Amino acid sequence: MLSKLLPKNEHVVERVIRVVLGLVLIALVFTGPQTPWGLLGLIPLATGLLGSCPLYTLFGISTCAMKKVTHS
């Protein structure tokens, strides 16, 4: 059920980038300009940890590697 709602559609490298970006934006809440806008970092952090982007699902996009089909 959950795999239909949140299918894996992010490549591993993209997931790492999203997590790092999310953590950097969240850190801005405590350092730097200290504005609540840094809480927007929760979005890339969550999608990176889950491996699923709702917008990718909506538009049918996937950055995951294609699985090879073998015929026997």
For residue 34, being part of any structural domain is answered with yes
Is the pTM higher than 0.85? The answer reads no
**Rounded alpha-carbon distances, angstroms, from residue 10 to 3, 21, 71, 72:** 13, 15, 26, 29
Per-residue model confidence as pLDDT tens digits over 5-14: 889 999 999 9
Q: Note down the domain range covering 35.
A: 7-59
pLDDT digits (tens, 9 = 90+) for 17-71: 999 999 999 999 999 888 888 999 999 999 999 999 999 999 999 998 876 667 7
pLDDT of residue 24: 95
Q: How many domains does the chain have?
A: 1
3-state secondary structure the chain: CHHHHCCCCCCHHHHHHHHHHHHHHHHHHHCCCCCHHHHHHHHHHHHHHHCCCHHHHHHCCCCCCCCCCCCC
Model confidence at 2: pLDDT above 90: no
Is 71 contained in some domain? Answer: no
